[in-house]
């Protein structure tokens, strides 16, 4: 019979035996899986573990600073890398969703490889892989797929030649959360909605600019904060906003406006494979819509996505 305490003790003992006095490097995403995996490895080997958290410029508003702070609070030896400009440069002019994903994946690998090279004698690559990732599923589009496609193209980055350590690869998501809570990881990380690796890069339809990121970050922040303030956040599996590549006519005072449209999406799901749109209260949607239009410059229209998966996907790209 599985309990998180037994799992934690056994895993820490395993990790100690396996890693010994070697060094481990690991990328953190701010998500549940990598945070729990890193915490377990850190309990086993302390500062022999170096974590790397990359700001790809496509995270939610304030996310990089807040999550980096939480990691430091947790005692993790973590390096925060501001690589925003490298990502924006690589994304310049790209509009095709897969091309954007590839560019984001490629730059991530380059940035991570640079950091891994700074750690002398590193032997292991830590990963937050969970059981559903192992048996395929949603992660076909995740970082491991990016690494795989990179692999097919040519030379492996050096960190990919490291031995892999994946302490969560027998667990399901709810078990990972249980382990995380037993490890006393903060609820803001444990209860966090899933967020795609390419981040806002696939929620800005069409090409990406720093200015569009800023706009979408403000919209997304109002929506997500609203869900939290109204006690709706935990009833939703995943939520976010899309910046659409169209403009619509509006009116402000005596003037006509011609500005951006955003779509809000909130879904219920178990594993992301299928999803239902959530019937958020009209009053809530109306309030959030007003707030977005009043506060975010350049947006004059808000729509709510009422499609389920299948046939729609959760993300628009």
Closest to ligand XMP by CB, 173 vs 181, is 173
Q: Which stretch binds ligand XMP (CB under 6 A): 70-78, 121-129, 152-160, 194-202?
A: 194-202
Residue 142 binds ligand XMP, judged by CB under 6 A: yes
Report how far residue 116's alpha carbon sits from residue 125's, in angstroms, rounded to the nearest whole number: 9
**Which pair of structure tokens corresponds to residue 227?**
């869900």
CB of 198 to ligand XMP, least distance (A): 5
Query: What angle separates helix 4-19 from helix 32-45, to the nearest 10 degrees?
Result: 60
Residue 173 binds ligand XMP (CB under 6 A):
no
CB closer to ligand XMP, 167 vs 196: 196
Task: Name which of residues 95 to 134 contact ligand XMP (CB under 6 A).
Answer: 101
Say whether residue 31 binds ligand XMP (CB under 6 A).
no
Q: How many helices (H) and strands (E) does the chain have?
A: 11, 9
54 in a known ligand binding site: no
Site string for ligand XMP, 272-291 (x = CB under 6 A): x-------------------
Q: How far is the CB of 17 from ligand XMP (least distance, A)?
A: 31
Q: State phi, psi for 303 to the nearest 5 degrees.
A: -125, 155
Q: Does position 138 bind ligand XMP by CB under 6 A?
A: yes
- Of 32 and 122, nearer to ligand XMP (C-beta) is 32
In Å, what is the CA distance from 178 to each residue of 11, 44, 130?
14, 19, 13
Q: Is 4 annotated as ligand-binding?
A: no
Instruction: Give least dist CB 251 to ligand XMP, A.
Output: 34
Q: Please, which residues have CB within 8 angstroms of residue 35's CB and are 6 or more apart in sequence?
A: 28, 71, 74, 128, 180, 185, 189, 190
- Minimum CB–partner distance for residue 13 and ligand XMP (Å): 31
Q: What is the 3-state secondary structure (H, E, C) of 275-312?
A: EEECCCCHHHHHHHHHHHHHHCCCEEEEEECCCCECCC
Q: 128 by DSSP, 3-state: which?
A: coil
Does 271 belong to an annotated binding site? no
Binding site annotation covers 32? yes
Among 126, 167, 197, 226, binds ligand XMP (CB under 6 A): 197
# binding residues, ligand XMP (CB under 6 A): 14
Question: Is there a contact between 248 and 239 (Cβ–Cβ < 8 Å)?
Answer: no
- Cα dihedral sign for 273, 235, 170, 15? positive
Strands 299-304, 122-126: pairing kind: unpaired
CB-CB neighbours of 249 under 10 Å: 10
The verdict on 198 binding ligand XMP (CB under 6 A) reads yes
Judge contact between 317 and 199, C-beta under 8 A. no
For position 313 contacting ligand XMP by CB under 6 A, the verdict is yes
Is 307 annotated to bind a ligand? Reply is no
Q: Tell me: does residue 194 bind ligand XMP (CB under 6 A).
A: yes
CB of 136 to ligand XMP, least distance (A): 13
Can residue 196 be called a binding residue for ligand XMP (CB under 6 A)?
yes
Going across the sheet that includes 122-126, the strands are: 78-82, 49-55, 23-28, 122-126, 163-165
Residue 30 near ligand XMP by CB under 6 A:
no
Residues comprising the chain, all counted: 317
Residues at the contact surface with ligand XMP, assessed by CB under 6 A: 101, 138, 141-142, 194, 196-198, 238, 272, 309, 313-315
Known binding-site residues for ATP equal 29-35
Known binding-site residues equal 29-35
């Amino acid at each position: 019979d599985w309990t998180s305490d037994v799992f934690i003790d056994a895993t820490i003992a395993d990790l100690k035996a396996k890693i010994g006095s070697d060094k481990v490097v690991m990328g953190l995403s701010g998500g549940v899986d990598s945070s729990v995996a890193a915490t377990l490895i850190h309990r086993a080997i302390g500062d022999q573990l170096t974590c790397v958290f990359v700001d790809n410029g496509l995270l939610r508003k304030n996310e990089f600073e807040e999550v980096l702070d939480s990691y430091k609070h947790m005692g993790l030896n973590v390096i925060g890398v501001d690589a925003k400009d490298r990502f924006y440069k690589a994304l310049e002019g790209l509009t095709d969703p897969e091309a954007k994903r590839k560019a984001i994946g490629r730059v991530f690998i380059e940035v991570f490889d640079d950091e891994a090279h700074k750690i002398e004698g590193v032997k292991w690559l830590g990963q937050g892989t969970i059981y559903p990732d192992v048996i395929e599923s949603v992660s076909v589009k995740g970082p491991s797929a990016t690494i795989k496609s990179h692999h097919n193209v040519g030379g492996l980055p050096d960190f990919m030649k490291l031995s892999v350590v994946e302490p969560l690869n027998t667990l399901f998501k709810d078990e990972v959360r249980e382990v995380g809570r037993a490890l006393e990881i903060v609820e803001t990380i444990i209860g966090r909605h899933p967020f795609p690796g390419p981040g806002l890069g696939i929620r800005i339809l069409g090409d990406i600019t720093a200015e569009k990121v800023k706009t979408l970050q403000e919209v997304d922040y109002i929506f997500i904060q609203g869900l939290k303030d109204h006690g709706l956040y935990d009833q939703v599996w995943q939520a976010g906003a899309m910046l659409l590549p169209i403009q619509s006519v509006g009116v402000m005072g005596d003037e006509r406006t011609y500005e951006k449209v955003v779509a809000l999406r909130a879904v219920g799901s178990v594993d992301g494979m299928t999803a239902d749109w959530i019937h958020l209260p009209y009053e809530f949607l109306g309030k959030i819509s007003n707030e977005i239009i009043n506060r975010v410059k350049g947006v004059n229209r808000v729509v709510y996505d009422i499609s389920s998966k299948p046939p729609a996907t959760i993300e628009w790209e």
